[in-house]
Amino acid sequence: MIKASRRQLIQQMGAWPLLWPLLREGRAEAQSKPKRAIVIYSPNGPIMDLGPAIGTETNFKLHEWWSPLERHRDVGNFFVGLHQAGVPFGEHNEYGHQSGGTGALTARTTEKTNNSTGPSLDQFIGQALQKANMSTPKRSLLWGLHNNAGNWGPWYESAGKPIAPEMDPFKALAAIAPNLRGDAVSIVDKKLTRKHFVLDKIYKDCKGLTSGLGAEGKALLDYHCNSIESLEKSVASALATQASQTVNCSTPAKPNTALTAASNFSAADNRDESMKAFTRLISLVFTCDISRVVGVSFGDTASRFAIPASYKVPSADKVDSGDSGPQHHAWTHTYNSGADKRLALKTFYTWYSEQVAKLLDELKKTLDADGKPLMDSTLVFWTSELGHRPGNNSLEPHPNDNIPVMLFGNSGGAFKTNRMFTATGNNEQRALVLHQMMVSVIQHTGLPNINEFGNKGTGPLAWLRG
Amino acid sequence: MLFVRLPSQSCVVVLSGLLLGACSGEITTGSPSTGNGGAGNGGTLVTGGTGGSIEVLEPGAFSTGPGLRRLTRTEYAYTVEDLLGFKAERSTLPAELIVQSHGFIAGAQKIGYEDNEKYYTVADKAATFAAPKLLSTLNCQTPACYSDFARAFLLKAFRAPPDDASVAIYAGILQDTKAGDTVSERLETFLTVVLTSPHFLYRKELGTTVSGRSRKLSDDEIASRLSYLVWQSAPDTALFEAAASNALATPARRLVELQRMLKDPRAARGLRTFSSDWMALFRNAIPEKVPAVLQNTDATFANSAERGFELLVDEVLTADGASFTDLLTADHVMGDAAVAKVLGLNYSGTGFIRLPLDTTSHRGVLTHPMVIGAHSKEGGASPFPIGKFIYENILCEVIPPPPAVFPNIEDVPDGLSLRQRLEAMTKDAPCSSCHTRIGPPGFAFLPFDPIARFSRNDASGKPFDTTGTLLLPDETKMPFDGAADLANKLAAQPSVQACIATRLFRFTQGRFESDADSGELATITDSARKNTSDVAQLLTALVGGKTFSEVLVK
């Protein structure tokens, strides 16, 4: 095991450590405290119900479809009534999937073009960090459980340049393995380290005070010095204990999954295991500072996404899109509001929520190299391209409206959490909130001067701070 | 060292806290060091600030200066506030060990493991608060600049010019990446080190020139002694400059500084702190009372009482020609509606005002809820603890602790009042030696409940018997009728004025007096008697005296 500061953890930085003292203060500050972001996209929307929360700002409950996230209310902000950012503000029944899919994470007007005119949020952040000389070995990472090979997908490197998530956790691991230093690195709790530094200094101060003291004063001072030394030893011991709790930056033999490299990662039945693997990989790349931004995709818009059969999603009849079976997309096209449809959509959203909740579990329990939970420095943004249109459950609405959006994390204490935001106003006003939220996520990663994302220059969402 | 356990059998079953006064031993006058009596017929009573075990130390302890005086909670809080603008909550700081009703006896104030934790926590908060504000003044590009910053800051914080080695160490912290990745983080670390350093936590009174057992304090040490006496905080620039010019060894110059400092609003801090210590208000005991006592009080009452006490001290002692004994005789309190309600006064407005007292029953601080609350049990009458407090804190007598085992007390006839029962139970030796003294002044307070509510009659409807005779230290007898009359008469007693002067001497020196102080102390107490404890005159006698610039060592 190697003892190292967090700075030494930064992988493949070449001469970075040597150049450190020469860096401007602002950059050093940003480098010293990594801020991370996870961008999650789930396709096809809840359609039948308005979520994810019901109530008022501070007195609310989660809709039962999102109930697995109840255990993470403490770090969550739940948004109701948001309109898709970027798309033209009006009706989008016909092109809901297209305009929503390409605009959900890009916040740009792309209706009918099948292509975005700018990067998705994850790619934008990675590129901006690189420009600001805060890049990590991997500028950003994009992993997922299903994709339509870029067909109306939400992930874009740049205008007209869609990208597809890696679905194979084994390949994902192989891609980051060269950036893992191959050993375990001790956690450095900066607060405790500072306490130890202070106690060491004042112990020396104490020992240096004895000159001129009589026996009475020396006895008092000896007692004090000994008590400082005792506390210093206690803190040193705690540091040593923490140091044994390493951030393991060695390359795992395989991803955290029962699957094998030969498994079919497109198979619905493997998606629990795939997500489990990606969850652990996310904590690995964050703790070892291989990347500070990760995209997680549950599938592209209109994709034939399904979850393992064990969840017993009812099977939809063949619908106008040609889909059928236990697929999220097929159920969004059924012309009914029956119990089967409700059960299907509920099961999908409960499953998505459980996967996100497990990811949040991982972020809360995993310490980074500064000895703090990853959750303290990570924002998790989860959105979709479709939402809900009140009073129109029975047909085939594809509204880019009333989208369930959630933001987890308090950005190191900067954001208030455990709240519900209910958007009001016209479509444009309610879309503005989503624009602003995306800017807040960007700024959180160490880019405080970026006030624009997508096709609107909005500034951050002030509500998050107050 | 002996440890005396409070008895749990025998008469204590009946009397419990009523007997937390004394039951045996000789009563002595003066400090533990000069007295012959005390615990086990010889010793110093030491209790923790919030109760706990009773510790008995050897006679003569704490009558010399150890050379280091740990800042009290109040001093620490004010020093940090004046230095960084951060207001530390006193209750989060290490409590003082209370030595015979004195909270500032330097030789007893050890700093242990948990104390270091508390200091670190407060310092960390103060540093986090102050670093961003100080950062703009630390715009350094060169090592020399960091040294200049450290030197200037340490002068204020450590209350003396730092030597070059210290400057190098502290300037080094500001540049050491182990102290933080950024200048801001390193400044936080720097401040935390400063606020937890022994150089900050102790006022140094080492002295420089040996003259028998007396050592002459340096000018910096005199400056600190003066500023902590008057302001409870570090010297200001003018005082530092006076120290730098080696002027403070001269009494006349000290008195010039004293007059200047007394005009500063911070002078109220010293008067408040001394007064609280004089009344043994080491904590606000009101919230500890039983629900029956606190019934029909406002939720803010405890805090209101505390604030009212402070305002009363400010108002009384900062008046022109004020005497410390004016606190005993004040015909009013400072109170809000919550205080007025408990004291039965007619006021329901907002804020604190001067509330006239019924001077047939109430007078000054002795009948104040804070003082009665501090020396009463959680519920019921507490004549003996109050009587003991009056003897120890107002008359400077030493009351020894109760015996380890209480004597059996014969049955007391039925039909007696509470006072009659208590007198019957303590009339014989060994109880009588103390209880004949502390009983009468304590009985004067029988009409007061543990938060100073007054009622003239007891539960049976009969008027309380509050008459009595106080046996003064010179064995003369002082008859009185009720607490208000007792307070009035105590204020006029030379022995009370001498006691105030003695306590102020101890407050200044951080120790009890010794035989070597007798000449100086006589001068100060004479001044107190002649001037009826005039605040300005007493401080002048103290600050202008020879011992103010000296420390007495073993």
In SS3 terms, B279-346 reads as CCCCCCCHHHCCHHHHCCCCCCHHHHHHHHHHHHHHHHHCCCCCECCHHHHCCEEEECHHHHHHHCCC
Among A29, A205, A220, whose Cβ lies nearest the Cβ of B199? A205
Domain count, chain B: 2
B113/A29 CB distance under 8 A? no
Confidence of residue A234 (pLDDT cuts 50, 70, 90): confident
Whether B62 and B158 map to the same domain: the answer is: yes
Whether B185 and B301 map to the same domain: the answer is: no
Of B204, B233, B260, the residue that ends a domain is B204
Whether B358 and B469 map to the same domain: the answer is: yes
Q: In this structure, how many other beta carbons lie within 10 angstroms of the beta carbon of residue B85? A: 12
A198/B107 CB distance under 8 A? no
Which residue would you say has higher pLDDT here, B1 or B523? B523
Does residue B256 belong to any structural domain of this protein? no
Of B441, B464, B491, the residue that ends a domain is B491
Confidence of residue B58 (pLDDT cuts 50, 70, 90): low
The pLDDT value given to residue B192:
98
Q: Decide if pLDDT at A108 tops 90.
A: no
Whether B346 and B448 map to the same domain: the answer is: yes
- Chains A and B form CB pairs within 8 A to the count of 101
Q: Decide if pLDDT at B384 tops 90.
A: yes
A194/B180 CB distance under 8 A? yes
User: CB distance from B63 to chain A under 8 Å?
Assistant: no
Whether B188 and B291 map to the same domain: the answer is: no
Closest chain A residue by Cα to residue B63: A216
A220/B169 CB distance under 8 A? no
The alpha carbon of residue A198 is apart from the nearest alpha carbon of chain B, in Å, by 5
The pLDDT value given to residue A21:
31
Whether B40 and B163 map to the same domain: the answer is: yes
- CA pair distance B305, B309, nearest whole angstrom: 6
User: CB distance from A28 to chain B under 8 Å?
Assistant: yes
Q: Decide if pLDDT at B30 tops 80.
A: no
Among A25, A197, A217, whose Cβ lies nearest the Cβ of B66? A217
Q: What is the DSSP letter of B348?
A: -
Tokens of A233: 């030893």
- CA pair distance A170, A264, nearest whole angstrom: 12
The pLDDT value given to residue A7:
32
Whether B192 and B303 map to the same domain: the answer is: no
The pLDDT value given to residue B37:
28
Instruction: Name the residue range of residue B48's domain.
Output: 25-204
User: CB distance from A235 to chain B under 8 Å?
Assistant: no
Does residue B371 belong to any structural domain of this protein? yes
Q: How far is CA B198 from CA A223, B116, B122, in A?
A: 12, 10, 15
Does residue B528 belong to any structural domain of this protein? no
Whether B158 and B65 map to the same domain: the answer is: yes
B356: left (phi over 0), alpha (psi -120 to 50) or beta: beta
The pLDDT value given to residue B188:
97
The predicted-structure confidence for B68-105, as pLDDT tens digits, reads as follows 999 999 999 999 999 999 999 888 898 888 888 888 88
Closest chain B residue by Cα to residue A33: B181
Among B70, B181, B554, whose Cβ lies nearest the Cβ of A32? B181
Q: Decide if pLDDT at B411 tops 80.
A: no
Name which of B65, B216, B83, B105 is nearest B159 in CA terms: B83
Whether B334 and B460 map to the same domain: the answer is: yes
Closest chain B residue by Cα to residue A29: B182
User: CB distance from A206 to chain B under 8 Å?
Assistant: yes
Whether B300 and B180 map to the same domain: the answer is: no
The predicted-structure confidence for B442-475, as pLDDT tens digits, reads as follows 999 999 999 999 999 988 899 999 999 999 999 8
The pLDDT value given to residue A442:
97
User: CB distance from A233 to chain B under 8 Å?
Assistant: no
Does residue B537 belong to any structural domain of this protein? no
The pLDDT value given to residue A396:
54
Closest chain A residue by Cα to residue B117: A231
The pLDDT value given to residue B44:
24
Mean pLDDT, chain A, integer = 84
User: CB distance from B266 to chain A under 8 Å?
Assistant: no
The pLDDT value given to residue B394:
97
Among B68, B120, B199, whose Cβ lies nearest the Cβ of A195? B120
User: CB distance from B216 to chain A under 8 Å?
Assistant: no
B66/A228 CB distance under 8 A? no
B68/A209 CB distance under 8 A? yes
Does residue B275 belong to any structural domain of this protein? no
The pLDDT value given to residue A240:
81
> Which of A8, A204, A220, A226 is the best mutation test for B, with the most CBs of B within 10 A?
A220
Strands A141-144 and A293-297, sheet pairing: parallel
Residue pointed to by tokens 């006076």: B242
Confidence of residue B316 (pLDDT cuts 50, 70, 90): very high
User: CB distance from A205 to chain B under 8 Å?
Assistant: yes
The predicted-structure confidence for A183-226, as pLDDT tens digits, reads as follows 676 777 788 899 999 999 999 999 999 888 988 899 999 999 99
Confidence of residue A391 (pLDDT cuts 50, 70, 90): low
The pLDDT value given to residue B243:
96
Q: In this structure, how many other beta carbons lie within 10 angstroms of the beta carbon of residue B54? A: 17
The predicted-structure confidence for A71-105, as pLDDT tens digits, reads as follows 999 999 999 999 988 766 555 554 577 777 888 99
Whether B293 and B171 map to the same domain: the answer is: no
The arithmetic mean of pLDDT across residues B259-285, rounded, is: 94
The alpha carbon of residue B137 is apart from the nearest alpha carbon of chain A, in Å, by 16
Q: Decide if pLDDT at B59 tops 60.
A: no
The alpha carbon of residue B113 is apart from the nearest alpha carbon of chain A, in Å, by 5
Does residue B181 belong to any structural domain of this protein? yes
The pLDDT value given to residue B220:
96
CB-CB neighbors (< 8 A) of B124 in chain A:
195
Which residue would you say has higher pLDDT here, A244 or B27? A244
CB-CB neighbors (< 8 A) of B553 in chain A:
214, 216
The alpha carbon of residue A18 is apart from the nearest alpha carbon of chain B, in Å, by 13
Closest chain A residue by Cα to residue B110: A220
Whether B52 and B160 map to the same domain: the answer is: yes
Q: Decide if pLDDT at A23 tops 70.
A: no
Of B491, B521, B543, the residue that ends a domain is B491
User: CB distance from A22 to chain B under 8 Å?
Assistant: no
Which residue would you say has higher pLDDT here, A450 or A110? A450
Does residue B472 belong to any structural domain of this protein? yes
Tokens of A292: 């500070």
Does residue B7 belong to any structural domain of this protein? no
CB of B191 closer than 8 Å to CB of B207: no
- CA pair distance A357, A345, nearest whole angstrom: 18
